[in-house]
């Protein structure tokens, strides 16, 4: 416990002003369990989670849905990512990229493909051909504003080091203007806080890209239940986005990176062979049609 308090203090020293307290995490875990108990047919899926606490997970393998586990992971990730990005040459940009094709109506969050979004992000970053490029972030879902139907908006929120703003805007902008696509590239001013922000994975209302004075609606009980049920099917780490670094935020050297992309190419051809029926629509909406076709 003392070690974790020390870790939390260390995170605060890194410039993170709103790191979740242990008490807030406990509240969130209880709320999550209450929501899920009401909607799940099989309460057995929650086994072990009620005995989790700040220092211990009741499951053999910690799950993404466990709020204590997420806090523990963030405590490790934030200093490690900061160390990595501080040493990088920069420039550092905070990037939010969303595609209309990733969005889902309320009640259909389980249709979201985190892997497809991450793949698209990687393809775009590959187009920059920058050997030292680093990206760290997460795939996020948030509740769309009422006038947009209160469904789920999906995005990748990340910090990218090593590319110019105009080049990032070029590779991430879509060639056709599909509705629901969005992109914001902003210079990083407080690195510690921005790392904490991009690695946050709690459910929130969608924050407008530029009108930051608009407070997003708080997700309703139904949204929260659906969100937690979706998390229940995810592995810890599944939403994490990394480029140019390994699972511990160590920079990948070029040789290891080439090896990793060769492996990814193999995986990609397997995925393409098993292309899901909605890939066409996704590709169209994504606006990276040319890139994807070129790679296949």
**Binding to Zn ion by residue 69, rule CB under 5 A?**
yes
Residue nearest to Zn ion (CB): 66
Task: Tell me how many residues contact Zn ion (CB under 5 A).
Answer: 4
Nearest to Zn ion of 66, 143 (CB atom): 66
Q: How far is the CB of 67 from Zn ion (least distance, A)?
A: 8
Nearest to Zn ion of 143, 203 (CB atom): 203
Among 14, 66, 82, 154, which residue interacts with Zn ion (rule: CB under 5 A)?
Answer: 66
Nearest to Zn ion of 33, 52 (CB atom): 52
Range 33-37 contact pairs with CB under 8 angstroms and sequence separation of 24 or more: 35/221, 35/224, 35/225, 35/228, 36/65, 36/225, 36/228, 36/229, 36/232
Pairing mode, if any, of strands 240-243 and 204-205?
A: unpaired
Find the angle CA(262)-CA(248)-CA(204) to the nearest 5 degrees. 100
Among 16, 36, 46, 52, which residue interacts with Zn ion (rule: CB under 5 A)?
Answer: 52
Site string for Zn ion, 120-159 (x = CB under 5 A): ----------------------------------------
Candidates 79, 201, 231, 208; CA nearest to 139 is 201
**Number of Cβ within a 10 Å radius of residue 4:** 14
Q: How far is the CB of 281 from Zn ion (least distance, A)?
A: 37
Nearest to Zn ion of 69, 162 (CB atom): 69
Q: Where are the alpha helices (DSSP H) in 88-156?
A: 114-126
Q: Which two tokens stand for residue 144?
A: 């769309």
Which of these segments, 46-54, 150-158, 197-205, 217-225, binds Zn ion (CB under 5 A)? 46-54
Give the DSSP H/E element, type plus range, for residue 187. strand 182-187
**Binding to Zn ion by residue 57, rule CB under 5 A?**
yes
d(CA 25, CA 5): 14
Candidates 31, 35, 168; CA nearest to 90 is 168
**Binding to Zn ion by residue 236, rule CB under 5 A?**
no
Q: How far is the CB of 30 from Zn ion (least distance, A)?
A: 13
Nearest to Zn ion of 66, 285 (CB atom): 66
Q: How far is the CB of 51 from Zn ion (least distance, A)?
A: 8
Which of these segments, 45-53, 111-119, 168-176, 238-246, binds Zn ion (CB under 5 A)? 45-53
Sign of CA dihedral 270, 271, 272, 276: positive
Which of these segments, 65-73, 79-87, 171-179, 180-188, binds Zn ion (CB under 5 A)? 65-73
**Binding to Zn ion by residue 231, rule CB under 5 A?**
no
Q: Which two tokens stand for residue 159?
A: 């910090």
Q: How far is the CB of 48 from Zn ion (least distance, A)?
A: 7
Spatial CB neighbours of 134, under 8 Å, sequence gap ≥ 6: 84, 85, 88, 160, 161, 162, 243, 244, 245, 251
Looking at the DSSP assignment, which residues form a beta bridge with residue 157?
96, 138
Which of these segments, 39-47, 60-68, 81-89, 218-226, binds Zn ion (CB under 5 A)? 60-68
Which of these segments, 52-60, 87-95, 137-145, 264-272, binds Zn ion (CB under 5 A)? 52-60
For Zn ion, the binding residues (CB under 5 A) are 52, 57, 66, 69
């Amino acid at each position: 416990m003392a070690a974790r308090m020390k870790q939390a203090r260390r995170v605060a020293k890194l410039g993170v002003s709103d790191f979740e307290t242990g008490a807030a995490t406990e509240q969130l875990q209880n709320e999550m369990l209450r929501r899920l108990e009401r909607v799940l047919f099989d309460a057995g899926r929650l086994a072990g989670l009620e005995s989790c606490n700040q220092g211990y997970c009741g499951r053999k393998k910690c799950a993404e849905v466990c709020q204590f586990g997420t806090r523990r992971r963030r405590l490790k990730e934030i200093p490690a990512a900061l160390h990595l990005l501080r040493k990088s040459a920069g420039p550092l940009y905070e990037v939010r990229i969303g595609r209309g094709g990733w969005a889902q109506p309320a009640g259909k969050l389980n249709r979201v493909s985190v892997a497809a979004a991450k793949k698209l992000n990687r393809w775009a970053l590959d187009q920059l051909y920058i050997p030292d490029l680093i990206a760290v972030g997460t795939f996020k879902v948030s509740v769309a504003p009422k006038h947009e139907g209160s469904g789920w908006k999906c995005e990748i929120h990340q910090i990218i080091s090593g590319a110019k703003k105009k080049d990032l805007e070029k590779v991430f902008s879509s060639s056709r203007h599909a509705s629901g696509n969005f992109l914001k590239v902003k210079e990083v001013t407080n690195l510690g806080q921005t790392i904490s922000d991009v690695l946050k994975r709690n459910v929130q209302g969608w924050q407008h890209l530029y009108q930051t004075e608009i407070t997003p609606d708080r997700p309703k009980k139904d949204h929260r239940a659906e969100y937690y049920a979706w998390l229940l099917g995810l592995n810890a780490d599944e939403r994490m986005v990394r480029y140019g670094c390994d699972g511990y935020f160590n920079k990948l050297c070029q040789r290891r990176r080439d090896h990793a992309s060769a492996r990814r190419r193999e995986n990609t051809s397997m995925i393409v062979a098993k292309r899901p029926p909605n890939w066409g629509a996704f590709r169209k909406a994504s606006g990276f049609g040319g890139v994807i076709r070129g790679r296949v």
